Amino acid sequence: MKLLKNINTESFTTINYVSAGARNVWQPIIANCNQLVQRLELLSVAEDQRHCAWRTVSNFRIPELTKECLKLGLNVYPIENIGSWGQGFTHKTKAPIEGKPTSTYCIITKKIEYAQEYHIAFDKGDHEKQGELLGFPRCCTAFFKKVWPKYFDPVWQCAENTYGNEFENITEFEHDAQSMTQRANERRLIDICNPHDFKSLANPILRYIGLRVGFHIPCSFNCMESIRIASFRLAICKSREEKDLAAMLTALLSMSIEWSVLHGIALIKTPIFYVRTNSMPTVGKYTIRLNGYFMPKESARGVGFPFREE
């Protein structure tokens, strides 16, 4: 992936639905799924599935978060103040500016010992220890350490690392190492095919709008450890309402989705909505097509991927 130098896209996220009907049906579902994901972040610690969770909140929301956590037997430990970035998704945070809104990076855990361990690891930049305490798979922590911070939004790298992906214009007859290296540098499209093997629980593409089951970027779209952890996480859902929302979340992650990035802007196309957000400042356009199996009845019709065929 070739990057432009000295380009910093401001943090933003927008979502536009393909029709009023799609918005009326799916906007409240997505909002409720977001609330479920945030609750699972905390419940996964309360249920001892992992030692810590992290949450970045505006300073005025810390009392509200603390009350929510206390009900679950959890404690909130503020770690660092950062500058608030407003609405949307951000990959990078900035130092707080006097007189400007600030947020706080918080660790949520049962035991102060875990918070202390995390704080030390955070200050040292020890990604392995942070990943261990947050319950991330070791393979994904190693992947993150390898690509960060050069690729701060490593969706493309995750797709490259996915077993079974198909690269545009690369044939099975190319065996020359030099030729393959050159072609690898020219890749612009990755198809992650075979919907029967598609593992939606490791899908990171919709995390920009809060739709995810894992709380980390997986090392691949079919990382089995990420899928295993996500399955345990969804099993926390006990009530009928939570189970129904978990099914909706899984369905949304199972749609056919196209992710592309160019000049620091990512465009995510689904059959029912588009998302635009900040991402890697690439020289050329890079595209991932994730072939899923869930097609909502409100899906737009069109001749291009990922829409319902005319």
- Asked if 277 and 200 sit in the same domain, the reply is yes
Query: Domain boundary residue among 104, 119, 134?
Result: 134
pLDDT computed for residue 199 by the predictor: 73
pLDDT band at 172 (very low <50, low <70, confident <90, very high): very low
More confident of the two residues 6 and 298: 298
Q: Give the chain's domain count.
A: 2
- Asked if 174 and 57 sit in the same domain, the reply is no
Structure tokens at 9: 């896209």
- Asked if 97 and 206 sit in the same domain, the reply is no
**What is the per-residue pLDDT across 102-123, written as a single tens digit (0 to 9) for each?**
889 999 999 999 999 999 999 9
CA-wise closest residue to 91 among 147, 11, 3, 25: 11
Query: Domain boundary residue among 106, 134, 162?
Result: 134
Cβ neighbours of residue 89 under 8 Å, at least 6 residues apart?
11, 12, 13, 207, 208, 209, 277, 278
First to last CA, the chain: 34
Q: Answer yes or no: pTM beyond 0.85.
A: yes
- Asked if 267 and 170 sit in the same domain, the reply is yes
Contact predicate 302/310, CB 8 Å: yes
CA-wise closest residue to 306 among 193, 161, 157, 217: 193
pLDDT computed for residue 132 by the predictor: 97
Domain membership of residue 218 as a residue range: 1-42+137-310
Distance CA 158, CA 233 (A): 22
**DSSP 8-state class, residue 255:** B
pLDDT computed for residue 190 by the predictor: 93
- Asked if 175 and 232 sit in the same domain, the reply is yes
Cβ neighbours of residue 20 under 8 Å, at least 6 residues apart?
none
3-class secondary structure, 306: coil
Contact predicate 205/290, CB 8 Å: yes
Cβ neighbours of residue 199 under 8 Å, at least 6 residues apart?
221, 222, 227
Q: Residue 22 carries which side chain, given as an amino acid letter? A: A
Q: What percent of the chain has pLDDT over 90?
A: 74
- Asked if 155 and 141 sit in the same domain, the reply is yes
- Asked if 170 and 301 sit in the same domain, the reply is yes
- Asked if 121 and 221 sit in the same domain, the reply is no
- Asked if 103 and 118 sit in the same domain, the reply is yes
What φ, ψ does residue 164 adopt, rounded to 5°?
A: 90, 5
Determine the average pLDDT of the residues in 58-70.
Answer: 94
Query: Domain boundary residue among 134, 155, 187?
Result: 134
269: which strand partners? 258, 274
pLDDT band at 87 (very low <50, low <70, confident <90, very high): low
pLDDT computed for residue 102 by the predictor: 86
Q: How far is CA 47 from CA 50, 53, 194, 231, 287, in A?
A: 8, 12, 35, 14, 38
**DSSP 8-state class, residue 259:** E
Distance CA 275, CA 26 (A): 14
pLDDT computed for residue 85 by the predictor: 66
Distance CA 55, CA 32 (A): 18
- Asked if 176 and 268 sit in the same domain, the reply is yes
- Asked if 235 and 102 sit in the same domain, the reply is no
* pLDDT mean across residues, the chain: 88
**What is the per-residue pLDDT across 232-282, written as a single tens digit (0 to 9) for each?**
999 999 999 999 999 999 999 999 999 999 999 999 999 999 999 999 999
The answer on pLDDT for 198 being more than 80 is no
Structure tokens at 193: 């095919």
Q: What DSSP element (H or E) covers 115?
A: helix 112-124
Distance CA 70, CA 77 (A): 12
Structure tokens at 263: 């000049």
- Asked if 26 and 84 sit in the same domain, the reply is no
pLDDT computed for residue 35 by the predictor: 96
What φ, ψ does residue 22 adopt, rounded to 5°?
A: -65, -40
